[in-house]
Structure 1
């Protein structure tokens, strides 16, 4: 990714990925507060000695936007639009999808993470959001590899990559600092040539097959 790509808005039917905005603070705070216990076991935390993160939501948005404009990450709000794009202001914030660690050169890869409001889980929004983000990175940024790191205990997240057909590559012990300690993570990946028609198209085809 190079500077100048951001901001980016993506939509497929009712699922919207758009940049976080400062005016999202009230909705974001409400969703995070309601889902505190739901999200806490999987939340990234700062290890001892690390620099503290942004102190306010406004500061967080400012930092993310600056990094996005520098081509370092893609910090999207995950939103639900029941009008399917007919009324843009109808989209409701229900989570986040973030592409981070964007690396060019001989690697051409990035990592993707996500969370969703428990009340909105189970509707297929996260798989669609991850597919939209992955297709954008492969098609528009020319990246070659997308990687997802998931704690072995996080069954909901594991089901997302399973549904999307990400390849399991193994366990990385004590890989990320989560919920106050270094945690093991299972690594899943997908290469661009594995989804020549796009990940979203493959997901839709698979989701329409009878069980």
Structure 2
């Protein structure tokens, strides 16, 4: 079932439906940020992926019409800053989804990403009716790890060689929240300073395990 994609705003940060007319802005940001983004980008283990931005947007929109995703653009103070996708949406007894995101390097450090993730998660919980939201992050991705720490996503474990990123299969740390954990919302809990101490922290033993020779590829 298709789910409406709204515009959600908190202060200068907005997440809104991505549009075909964003293609030029999106392509420019992706090209300008190749060094910043390349090491975190999903790749195809069976060959090169095309760099057709309009086709990518159309694919995201088709996936949304089928009810499997919520593709957002992230704006900061009215300027295109990145993307956020709620993907792999399942309904019924599972009622879950995953979130992936990126912002341009020039917007880093402004609290944009945690705000966008909180807005999208709250909408998914309280409007779409999902029960669980998951975020999977490479162990080396310190900025993304700070996002889940700020918002209090629970650490759930290390997934070995989980997603093909930047040319190879990479380990990922998995984090999640369920709706019952945030009855007043992710954004409100964070803004009010009520995130449980230690939430989102990866145990040192798991950090060490992610770096064991032969199990993790740099």
Q: TM-score range by the shorter chain?
A: 0.7 to 0.9
Query: Counterparts of 2:49 and 2:40 in 1: how far apart (Å)?
Result: 17
Unaligned runs of 5+ in 1: 82-90
Query: Counterparts of 1:176 and 1:71 in 2: how far apart (Å)?
Result: 23
CA-based RMSD = 1.5
Q: CA deviation at 1:113?
A: 0.8
- C-alpha contact 2:69 2:89 (8 A) present in aligned 1: yes
When the two structures are aligned, how many residues end up with a matched partner?
194
Among 148, 167, 174, the residue aligned to 2:135: 148
- C-alpha contact 2:97 2:132 (8 A) present in aligned 1: yes
Bigger shift: 144-153 or 40-49? 40-49
Query: Counterparts of 1:33 and 1:59 in 2: how far apart (Å)?
Result: 16
Query: Counterparts of 1:35 and 1:53 in 2: how far apart (Å)?
Result: 17
TM-score by length of structure 2 reads: 0.85
Q: CA deviation at 1:54?
A: 6.0
> For 2:192, what is the secondary structure of its paired residue?
helix
Tell me what 2:73 maps to: 77
Q: CA deviation at 1:63?
A: 1.3
1:97 aligns with 2:88: no
Tell me what 1:109 maps to: 96
Q: Note the 1:104-183 alignment, pairs <5 A.
A: 104-183=91-170
Tell me what 1:189 maps to: 176
- C-alpha contact 1:54 1:60 (8 A) present in aligned 2: no
Q: CA deviation at 1:53?
A: 5.5
Q: CA deviation at 1:20?
A: 1.4
TM-score by length of structure 1 reads: 0.88
1:20 aligns with 2:7: no
Tell me what 1:200 maps to: 187
> For 1:58, what is the secondary structure of its paired residue?
helix
Q: CA deviation at 1:8?
A: 2.0
Query: Counterparts of 1:142 and 1:124 in 2: how far apart (Å)?
Result: 26
Query: Counterparts of 2:16 and 2:177 in 1: how far apart (Å)?
Result: 23
Q: CA deviation at 1:128?
A: 0.5
- C-alpha contact 2:154 2:175 (8 A) present in aligned 1: yes
Tell me what 2:55 maps to: 59
Query: Counterparts of 2:34 and 2:51 in 1: how far apart (Å)?
Result: 18
Query: Counterparts of 1:114 and 1:160 in 2: how far apart (Å)?
Result: 11
> For 1:140, what is the secondary structure of its paired residue?
helix
Q: CA deviation at 1:26?
A: 2.0
- C-alpha contact 1:43 1:179 (8 A) present in aligned 2: yes
Tell me what 1:35 maps to: 33
